[in-house]
Amino acid sequence: MREIKFFEHIAQSIVEETSYVLNIPISITNNVGTIIGCMDRERLGSHHVATPDITKADQIMHFTEKEIMQLDNVLPGVAVPIRFQQQTVGVLGIIGNPMEVERYIHFVQSHIEMLLIKKFQAKTTSLQMETMRDFIHQVIEYKNNTDASRLLSFSEMLGIQFNTPRHCILISFTPLDENSLIVQSELFLLMNNLFKESESDIVAPLNQNQWVILKHVQSNTTHKMNSACDIALESLNRYFKSKKLAYSILISYGADYSGIEGISKSYNEAKMTAGIAKQNNLTDSIYSISDWSILSLSLTQNVTLPSEQILISHIGKLKAHPNGDALIESFLTYCEQQLNMSKSARQLFIHRNTLLYRLKQLEEILEIDIHSFEQCILLYLALKRYRNLLVETV
């Protein structure tokens, strides 16, 4: 029944597309004889009395000028049943002299049945994608202590169990030119091929340029996750290249958790990881929340600084200085080079005495001991926090 309704919905577009390409006037009826596709739109919705005989015969039937004289709303030509998913869903008619148009009937019949399969597959893919997108949004937006009954019913309908531990993988695409546009249905099939090894794995678009994968955890999970992401990155780059699309790709993933809260937590970790990679202009394409580089950079976002208002006032003093930006850059580099003057100067491409002068200025402005690891790390975290906040507000 669903297949017949689908056929009725797209029949007119199939007729117009086929008639335009082949320059052949055709019509299509459903399995009860209603004309659902025709180049002569005035015939749409009318009854074709010969349809029951054609479907019963299950073969080509010819209709000459003489034969149609007694048949209402039947034109000369040839007709043949259209089959889809092992059932007759309607009748194809090619209008014209039967002797002239018969040679086209099998080709057009095959063409229409193939179109039906392709369009049905595309529609099914689109529905699956929309369903999984709705499900993913409900999961990642779930908040603790809220009623989960609707979400649990949704997951039960989809056959998804929340007690399975999963990593949340977030794949972000950034267009490198304004003409790049992703075909979501194609990408949905590719993503499923890349990540869906079992029914426990879930793939869905989050929006036009972001995808979420909930990946079931198995043994040697870190190695397997890294390998899966490497393969996906290579395949996605190859796909975009074949489509002449310009995108940069960033893959991030959180730790593995089970339960609704766990999936939401893993997603937020993946999202935070991607944000840290972008804010700090990291050059790799794959990052995990467990990477030490990400953990150390996340410290500036998540640590609670003491007397934050006082630290902000200190930063304000530096920013107000005519050489403030250079002082801040020099201090951050000094910290990142393990408080080593020579290495820091080389990194900044300045003379060691210039660096020493800048740090002395900073020391006087803030009354800080630049040789104290504790004081330096506190200012370092405050400056990194300030810089990240500045990036987020731009």
Regarding whether 107 and 27 lie in a shared domain, the answer is yes
More confident residue, 6 or 233: 233
What's the number of domains the chain is made of? 3
Structure confidence by residue, pLDDT tens digits, 42-97: 999 999 999 999 999 999 999 999 989 889 999 999 999 999 888 899 999 999 99
What is the average per-residue pLDDT within 198-207? 92
Is residue 393 predicted with pLDDT exceeding 60? no
- CA distance between the termini of the chain: 55
Residue 249, domain member (yes or no): yes
Assigned domain for 255 exists:
yes
Q: Please indicate, yes or no, whether residues 159 and 193 belong to a single structural domain of this protein.
A: yes
- Confidence at residue 391, expressed as pLDDT on a 0 to 100 scale: 42
Q: 386 is in which domain, residue-wise?
A: 303-393
Which of 298, 333, 366 delimits the end of a domain?
A: 298
Specify the CATH number for the domain of residue 148: 3.30.70.270
Residue carrying structure tokens 């200012």: 379
The size of the chain, in residues, is 394
- C-alpha 165/C-alpha 259 separation (Å) is 8
202 phi-psi bin (left φ>0, alpha ψ -120 to 50, beta other): beta
**C-alpha distances in angstroms, 62 versus 29, 89, 100?**
16, 20, 11
Per-residue model confidence as pLDDT tens digits over 327-351:
999 999 999 898 899 999 999 999 9
Average pLDDT over residues 278-296: 87
pLDDT at res. 390: 46
* 201: in domain: yes
Q: Which of 298, 324, 354 is the last residue of a domain?
A: 298
Please indicate, yes or no, whether residues 275 and 341 belong to a single structural domain of this protein. no
* pTM score over 0.85: no
**Pair (147, 292) in one structural domain:** yes
Q: Are 213 and 258 contained in the same domain?
A: yes
**Same structural domain for residues 286 and 348?**
no
Q: Is residue 130 part of a domain?
A: no
Say yes or no: 93 and 207 in one domain.
no
CATH number at residue 346: 1.10.10.2840
Q: What is the pLDDT of residue 299?
A: 75
Q: Given a cut of 60, is residue 388 above it in pLDDT?
A: no
Same domain, 311 and 324: yes
Stretch 234-244: mean pLDDT, rounded? 93
Distances (CA, A) of 144 to 134, 148, 302: 19, 9, 20
Query: Which phi and psi angles does 34 have, rounded to 5°?
Result: -80, 130
Which residues, listed in sequence order, are joined to residue 47 by a DSSP beta bridge?
A: 34
Clarify whether residues 369 and 257 are in a common domain. Answer: no
Does residue 112 contact residue 27 with C-beta atoms inside 8 Å? no
Do 156 and 200 lie in a common domain? yes
Q: What's the rounded mean pLDDT across residues 107-126? A: 89
3-state secondary structure the chain: CHHHHHHHHHHHHHHHHHHHHHCCCEEEEECCCEEEEECCHHHCCCECCCHHHHHHHCCCEEECCCHHHHCCCCCCEEEEEEEECCEEEEEEEEECCHHHHHHHHHHHHHHHHHHHHHHHHHHHHHHHHHHHHHHHHHHHCCCCCCCCHHHHHHHHHHCCCCCCCEEEEEEEEEECCCCCCCCHHHHHHHHHHHHCCCCCCEEEEEECCEEEEEEECCCCHHHHHHHHHHHHHHHHHHHHHHCCCCEEEEEEECCCECHHHHHHHHHHHHHHHHHHHHHCCCCCCEEECCCHHHHHHHHHHHCCCCCHHHHHHHHHHHHHCCCHHHHHHHHHHHHHCCCCHHHHHHHHCCCHHHHHHHHHHHHHHHCCCCCCHHHHHHHHHHHHHHHHHHHHHC
pLDDT at 210: 95
Residues 18 and 72 reside in one and the same domain: yes
For residue range 123-135, what is the model confidence (pLDDT) as tens digits?
888 889 999 999 9
Residue finishing a domain among 242, 276, 298: 298
pLDDT in tens, 257-270: 999 999 999 999 99
Q: Note whether residue 135 is domain-resident.
A: no
Residue-level pLDDT at 394: 34
Q: What is the mean pLDDT of the chain?
A: 88
Q: Are residues 205 and 266 in the same domain?
A: yes
Q: Do the domain assignments include residue 39?
A: yes
Lowest-pLDDT choice from 140-149, 186-195, 271-280, 312-321: 140-149
Structural domain contains residue 134: no
What's the average model confidence in pLDDT over 295-321? 80
Mean pLDDT of 144-162: 86
Q: What mean pLDDT do residues 232-240 have?
A: 94
Look at 16 and 303; give whichever has higher pLDDT.
Answer: 16
Q: Give domain status of residue 129, yes or no.
A: no
**Which CATH number does the domain housing residue 78 bear?**
3.30.450.40
What's the Rg (C-alpha) of the chain? 33
